[in-house]
Amino acid sequence: MSAQAHPPVVLYDTTLRDGSQSEDVLFSAEDKLRIAKRLDALGLDYIEGGWPGANPKDDDFFRQAKQLKLQKSRITAFGSTRRAGSKVEEDQVIKGLLGSGAQVITVFGKSWDLHVSRALGIPLAQNLELIFDTIRYLKRHVDEVFYDAEHFFDGYRRNPEYARQTLQAAYEGGADALVLCDTNGGTMVEDLRRMIGEVTDLGAPLGIHCHNDCELAVANSLAAVEAGVTHIQGTINGIGERCGNANLISIIPNLKFKMQRSLTLDDEDLTQLTAVSRFVNEMANRPTQKNQPYVGVSAFAHKGGIHVSAVLKDASTYEHISPDLVGNQQRVLVSEQAGRSNLIYKLEELGIEGVDAKDPRLTELLLDVKELEHQGYQFDGADASFQLRVWKALGELPNYFELLGFRVIDERRVRKDGQHPMGAEATVKMRVAGESVHLVAEGAGPVDALHKALSKALRRDYPMVTELKLEDFKVRILGNRKGTEATVRVLIEWYDGRCRWGTVGVSDHIIAASYDAMVEAVKYKLFKDKVKPV
Amino acid sequence: MSAQAHPPVVLYDTTLRDGSQSEDVLFSAEDKLRIAKRLDALGLDYIEGGWPGANPKDDDFFRQAKQLKLQKSRITAFGSTRRAGSKVEEDQVIKGLLGSGAQVITVFGKSWDLHVSRALGIPLAQNLELIFDTIRYLKRHVDEVFYDAEHFFDGYRRNPEYARQTLQAAYEGGADALVLCDTNGGTMVEDLRRMIGEVTDLGAPLGIHCHNDCELAVANSLAAVEAGVTHIQGTINGIGERCGNANLISIIPNLKFKMQRSLTLDDEDLTQLTAVSRFVNEMANRPTQKNQPYVGVSAFAHKGGIHVSAVLKDASTYEHISPDLVGNQQRVLVSEQAGRSNLIYKLEELGIEGVDAKDPRLTELLLDVKELEHQGYQFDGADASFQLRVWKALGELPNYFELLGFRVIDERRVRKDGQHPMGAEATVKMRVAGESVHLVAEGAGPVDALHKALSKALRRDYPMVTELKLEDFKVRILGNRKGTEATVRVLIEWYDGRCRWGTVGVSDHIIAASYDAMVEAVKYKLFKDKVKPV
C-alpha cells in the first residue's frame, strides 16, 4: 500500500521528560537545550521539554528554549490536569504550564476508575470535569493541547465505559489528540490493537505512548499505527522509567522503510539516526548499547566466517536493509570465529590490496589476533590496535621510539585543614631519535600524568602528538575473577581534531594496560599521518 | 482462555550457538557446560550446544556434555544439510553431527529460491532432496530432528510455493518441527503472522526463530505462538549476531503470565529468571542491561517522587506484575528527583523506623545526596555508600580509623631481555586505635596494592577486614569532557563470604576514587558486622 493511502504519522519525543526519569539519566538544562536543537535538526514534530513549575531545571529550560529558533519541532510543556476543587484559572500547575511559553501543552489525566477513587479520592464524574475544564481552558491560550490518558489500557480492561468517557471529555474539551498510554508497559500487542479498535469510532485523532516492560513497546506502537493511531510518543534509544519508553530510533525506520508510512522526516533525515542516537547517549552519559537495532555498532556486524563470505557476496543474505539508510555501516569482525574472508576484508578496508589468501603473514596475523582475543584483547572498538598489528605483520610499521621505563606516583596527603588533595606524577624514560630522554609530568590522575609525560617526551621530534586527546576511557575486569588481581582491559577512544580511533590494552595492572593503549594510539597517529621516524 | 485450551509451548535455547555469534561474546567449552547446567536447572526443553565437527571447542563441549546428567533439557547439535553431490552417509557435516552423541539434531536449510541458485548453485529440486535426505537419514539415528528453514519469511515473500515445498520436504523426511527463521530480523509482526497462517495447513508442528534487527523479535515470537507455533527458539538476554536473537527471558513470563500458555517451566522455575539472566551475562562477560524487561536492575525501580508515593500505596499503579514472580525486586531510587517518600522508604529498608518526615537531618541528607549525585555520585549500585551517609547523618557511624596519607607507585622497567614487568607498591599512613601506623604492600596493580596495604594496616585491630574481596570494578568517565582530566566514577562491588554490596567513589584521580570507594566498603563492613571501634 502506498504512502498516500495512509495518513501521515507525527512523532512526539519525550526524551527530555519521560526519558529523564530513567534510572541512569541526569540532564542539566543545558543538556536539554542541546538535545532539543539536535532533535529539531533531525525533524521530530514535537519535543516535550519537561514539567514547568514542578522543577527549577525545567523552568530554566523553557525560559531558554524561547531563544532556540527551532526550524521544525514544536516545544511541548507537560503537566497534570487541574486539582479537584481548584478553579482552572487559579490552579498552580495550569499557571506553570501557561507560564512556560510553550505553544503546545500535554496534560495527563486518569482513565482508570480505581485510580480516580483511590489516588485522587474524588467521584468519577468529577474527574471527567477536571479533564474537560483543563483542556478547554488551555485550548483558549495555546495552539495545541494533547491529552495523555494515563493507564488507558489497564483502565479500559477494568471499566471500558469509564475509560471511553474520559477520552470523550478530553475530546469535547478540544484536545488535538487523545494519547492512549500503556503506563505500566504490561499490555500484549493483540489486546492493545483490539482496544484501540474499539475507540476509533470516537472520531478523534489518537496517539500512543508505550513502555517497554514486556519488551513490546515498539511492536505496540506499530500495531497502534496499524489500528489507526497517527501520533507516536517515544524517546531516543527508548530511555525512560524502569524498562524505558518506546524507542523512536527503531520506530522511525520501521514506519518508513517497512510500513511505508509518511513522516515529516524524509529519507535523508533518517540517515542522521545513528548520529542522533549516539549524541543522546553521550548527553545522557549512558553506555551505548552495541546491539541496538538499526544504529548499534553491532547492528550490521558480521562475525562468523560463513556469514561473512555470504554477506560480502550479497548483502541481502544477512542485512535486512542497507546500513547507510540510517547512517550506520557494515562491519566485518576479526575474532576467533573469523576466517580469511574477514581478514582480507579488513585489509582492503585499510587500503591493502592484493594480499594472497594463502600469504603466511596472513596466517600468522590471524593466529596472533585469535590468541590475543583469547587473552582478553578485543579489537572491535579498538580498530587502531588491530591495524597496527596488520602493518607490523606486513613489515611496514617503523620504530618511532623506544620505551626504557616509566613510573607513576599517586599520592594523597591529609593536610592539617582536613583537605586531602590527590596528586599524580609520571616519569618516563625513552629513546627518541637516538637520544635518551628522561622527564616528568604532573596530572590530574595517573593516566593523565602519563599522557602528559609521553607527549612531553615526544613532542620535540613528533609535534603532532600534542593533537591527541583522550575522549573516552573504559575499563573492564575480565573473566578470571581474582578480585583486585583480575585482568583488566582498557579501551581508549582518541580524537586528533580530524579522526577518531580506539586502542586496547590488557594487563593485570591498570596503568600498564592504559600505557599500552596510549602508546598504540600515538603510533597509530604517526603512521596514519605518514610521519617519517626520526 | 485457560491454559488447557492452548497446546503447550516448548522452549529451545540457542544461547550457546547463535548467542555465541554475538560480537561481544566469547564462551569457552567450560563456560558452555556451566551454562547448560544452569539452563537445565531452570528447565528449558532444548539446549543447542553448537556445531560439532565445525569447531574444536564445540567438539569439546559435546564430548563433556555426555557426563552432564541433565534433568530436563535435551542437548541439541546444530549443522547444515548435506552438501549437494555428497551421499548423506558419507557427508562430513552429517558425520560430525552424529558423532556428537546428541539425541536431538537441528539442521538448517535454504527456503529462499535465490539463495539456492546463488549461494548453493544447484537446481531448486535438488535442494529439496538435500533437505529430505538429510532429515530422513538423521531420524534413523537420533530421537528428534528439527528443520530450521533459513530466511523463511524473506523466501516466502519472494516465492511462497518454493518455500512451502522446502517445508514439505523436511516434514516428509520426518522432521519433528519446522522452525521458521526470520534470519535477517527484518519482518514486521503482521506480515509474519499472516505468513505463518498460510502454512499451518501443512499439519506439521511449527517453530519460530527470530532476530531483533527491528526490535520486534519478542513480539514476532509471541505472534507466532498466537498463530499456532508451539516451539520457540531464542537466547538468554537476547544475545546473538548483530542485534541479537529473541530474548527468552522476556518471552517466558509473557507467555506464562500474560498469555496463559502452558510451559515445561512452572511458576517456581520462573522465579529463577533474574538469577539466570545475570549468570549468563557474567559468563558472557557482558555488561548487564539495567533496564532489561522483567529482570533488569531498573525494571521495578521507581524514581520520580510522584511515582514513588503512588507505588508505595499500591504497587499496581506502576508495576505490571509483582517483581518476585521473576525473582526481581522493587527498588526506590534516591536521586535529585526523589522526595521524602523515597528517603523514608530507604531508611525503613535499613531498619531505621520512626524518622519524622520533617526531621531536619532528613532534609540535610536529601540535599547532600542530591548534591553528590550532581557531582557524579551514583548511589544506585552503590547502596553501601548511601547507607554510610545515612548512618553518619543520624550520628551513628563511629570513627574506626583515620587516614593520614597514602602513596601508590606504579613502575615499569624495560629489562635487557626485552621483558617489561609492571609493578605496583602502596604505602599507607593511618591512625588506628590511637596509634600511628605506616606500612607498605605490593600488588598486581595500584588498586590491588592499596587494598593490600589497607588490609595490612587494619587487620590487627579489625581482623574481619581480610574477609573483604573485590568482585567487580567499574570505571566511568563522567560528563565533563576534559580528556585525561575528566571526572572518573568508580563503582566497586564487594563480597565478604556472606553479603554483597557496592560502593562508589568520584574524583578526577582514578586512584583517589578507588581509595574512597574502598574505605567506604571497609567502614560498611565494620558497621554492618556491629564491630566496636577500637
pLDDT in tens, B468-515: 998 877 777 665 444 556 778 888 888 898 888 889 998 888 899 999
The C-alpha of B390 sits at a distance from chain A's nearest C-alpha, in angstroms, of 21
The C-alpha of B244 sits at a distance from chain A's nearest C-alpha, in angstroms, of 7
Q: Which residues of chain B have pLDDT under 70?
A: 1-4, 24, 285, 304-306, 334-341, 350, 357, 373-374, 376, 378, 380-381, 477-485
Question: What is the sign, positive or negative, of the torsion defined by CA atoms of A384, A386, A389, A391?
Answer: negative
A291 in contact with chain B, both atoms CB, cutoff 8 A: yes
Distance CA B17, CA B57 (A): 11
Q: Sort out which chain A residues have CB atoms less than 8 A from B224's CB and list them.
A: none
A443/B485 Cβ within 8 A: yes
A-B interface: how many C-beta pairs under 8 angstroms?
Answer: 357
pLDDT digits (tens, 9 = 90+) for A432-487: 999 999 999 998 888 889 999 999 999 999 999 999 998 877 777 665 444 556 77
pLDDT at B29: 85
Q: Sort out which chain A residues have CB atoms less than 8 A from B500's CB and list them.
A: none
pLDDT at position A154 over 90:
yes
Q: Sort out which chain A residues have CB atoms less than 8 A from B294's CB and list them.
A: 213-214, 243
A296/B243 Cβ within 8 A: yes
Report the residue count for chain B.
Answer: 534
DSSP state of A126: H
Q: Is A394 exposed, middle or buried (0-12, 13-18, 19+ CB in 10 A)?
A: middle
B477/A241 Cβ within 8 A: no
pLDDT digits (tens, 9 = 90+) for A354-383: 777 677 887 778 777 777 766 767 676 677
Strand order in the sheet with B402-413: A435-443, A422-432, A402-413, B402-413, B422-432, B435-443
Closest partner residue to B479 (CB to CB) among A285, A293, A319 is: A285
pLDDT digits (tens, 9 = 90+) for A109-121: 999 998 899 888 8
B288 in contact with chain A, both atoms CB, cutoff 8 A: no
pLDDT level of residue A3 (50, 70, 90 thresholds): very low
B414/A444 Cβ within 8 A: no
DSSP state of B299: T
**Topology, domain B3-265:** TIM Barrel (3.20.20)
The grid cell for B328 is 526481581
| Of residues A455 and A281, more confidently modeled | A455
Helix axes A124-141, A92-99, angle to 10 degrees: 30
B3 in contact with chain A, both atoms CB, cutoff 8 A: no
Residue range(s) of every CATH 3.30.160 domain in chain B: 401-461
Sequence-distant (6+) residues with CB within 8 A of A24 are A284, A285, A286, B290, B298, B378, B380
User: In angstroms, what CA-CA distances link A399 with A175, A351, A403, A531?
Assistant: 70, 21, 11, 11
pLDDT digits (tens, 9 = 90+) for A290-345: 899 999 988 998 876 667 777 777 777 778 999 999 999 887 776 555 666 677 77
Task: Select, from the ranges A46-55, A285-294, B244-253, the one with the highest average predicted confidence (pLDDT).
Answer: B244-253
Q: Sort out which chain B residues have CB atoms less than 8 A from A414's CB and list them.
A: 403-405
Q: By three-state DSSP, how is residue A508 classified?
A: coil
Distance CA B196, CA B224 (A): 7
Smallest CA–CA distance from A155 into chain B, residue: B317
The grid cell for B85 is 553431490
Closest partner residue to A214 (CB to CB) among B214, B250, B300 is: B250
pLDDT at position A125 over 80:
yes
pLDDT at A1: 47
Distance CA B39, CA A240 (A): 31
A184/B316 Cβ within 8 A: yes
Among B214, B245, B282, B478, pick the best mutation site for testing chain A contact (most A Cβ within 10 A): B214
Residue B465 zone, left/alpha/beta (φ > 0; ψ -120 to 50; rest)? alpha
Sequence-distant (6+) residues with CB within 8 A of B359 are none
pLDDT at A150: 95
- The mean pLDDT of A417-446, rounded to a whole number, is 89
Q: Sort out which chain B residues have CB atoms less than 8 A from A424's CB and list them.
A: 509, 511
B289/A26 Cβ within 8 A: no
pLDDT at position A253 over 50:
yes
Q: Say if residues B305 and B335 touch (Cβ distance below 8 Å).
A: no
Residue range(s) of every CATH 3.20.20.70 domain in chain B: 3-265
Which residue type sits at B158?
A: R
- The mean pLDDT of A183-193, rounded to a whole number, is 97
Q: Sort out which chain A residues have CB atoms less than 8 A from B474's CB and list them.
A: 475
B194 in contact with chain A, both atoms CB, cutoff 8 A: no
The grid cell for A415 is 593536610
Predicted TM-score (pTM) of this structure? 0.81
Closest CA to A334 of A375, A299, A382: A382
pLDDT digits (tens, 9 = 90+) for A199-219: 999 999 999 999 999 999 999
Smallest CA–CA distance from B317 into chain A, residue: A184
A258 in contact with chain B, both atoms CB, cutoff 8 A: yes
Smallest CA–CA distance from A431 into chain B, residue: B414
Cβ–Cβ contacts within 10 Å for residue A274, how many?
22
Among B20, B23, B332, B335, pick the best mutation site for testing chain A contact (most A Cβ within 10 A): B23
CATH architecture of residue range(s) A401-461 = 2-Layer Sandwich (3.30)
The C-alpha of A518 sits at a distance from chain B's nearest C-alpha, in angstroms, of 11
A466 in contact with chain B, both atoms CB, cutoff 8 A: no
B481/A471 Cβ within 8 A: yes
